[in-house]
Amino acid sequence: MESERYVRFTVLVAGLFKHLQKLKNDNATSFGLKNVHILWVYLLYNHPQGLSANEIAEKGDVDKSLVSREIAELERKGLIVCQSPEGAFAQKRRYGEKFCLTAAGRAVAERVRQKALWVQQLADTGISSEKLAVFYETLEQLSLNFKKIANSRESELLVD
């Protein structure tokens, strides 16, 4: 029975990820973004005071190196700016400075937000708010547990 749960869990999570990636890929171009940028503009929209590259990486659960490589594209497109601690916009980034959305970036992020809310509403169909609350609480704990397992030496025993 436990192996059946493993298979079921693995297949369901992989399927959710695949469908989420397809949704992001299908919409990224219409937003003028890459798939990887979708969550970042959404995060910045929800943090108008700005986020550092490290905070974006942490909140998006991605490698800092990915953010470092890709964030410049959002700057080139005029969607974000790097703000210095004094409040002036910096020409040259320094470690720990915050990225903020420009007016154009906020407009794109608002479109991303509207689409995300629409998808969320459709995905939540037939599920009570109570069940969703338990689901997300459980999913967060599972994520923490899997992170601990993945970072332990015991995970070397697992076979892909």
The Cα–Cα gap between 90 and 11 comes to 46
Q: Is residue 117 part of a domain?
A: yes
Domain membership of residue 74 as a residue range: 2-125
Q: Is residue 109 part of a domain?
A: yes
The list of the chain residues with pLDDT below 70 reads 1-3, 84-95, 154-160
Reported for 32-40, long-range contacts at CB under 8 A and 24+ positions apart, including other chains, are 32/77, 32/108, 33/74, 33/108, 33/112, 34/70, 34/73, 36/62, 36/66, 36/70, 37/70, 37/73, 37/74, 38/112, 40/67, 40/71, 40/74
Q: Is residue 144 part of a domain?
A: no
Q: Is residue 153 part of a domain?
A: no
What φ, ψ does residue 50 adopt, rounded to 5°? Answer: 100, 165
Q: Is residue 81 part of a domain?
A: yes
pLDDT of the residue at 67? 93
Rg, the chain, Cα only: 18
User: pLDDT, tens digit, for every residue of 105-142?
Assistant: 999 999 999 999 999 999 999 999 999 999 999 999 99
- The CATH number of whichever domain residue 99 belongs to comes to 1.10.10.10
Q: Is residue 6 part of a domain?
A: yes
| Whole-model pTM over 0.85 | no
pLDDT of the residue at 156? 59
The Cα–Cα gap between 96 and 76 comes to 19
| Domains: count for the chain | 1
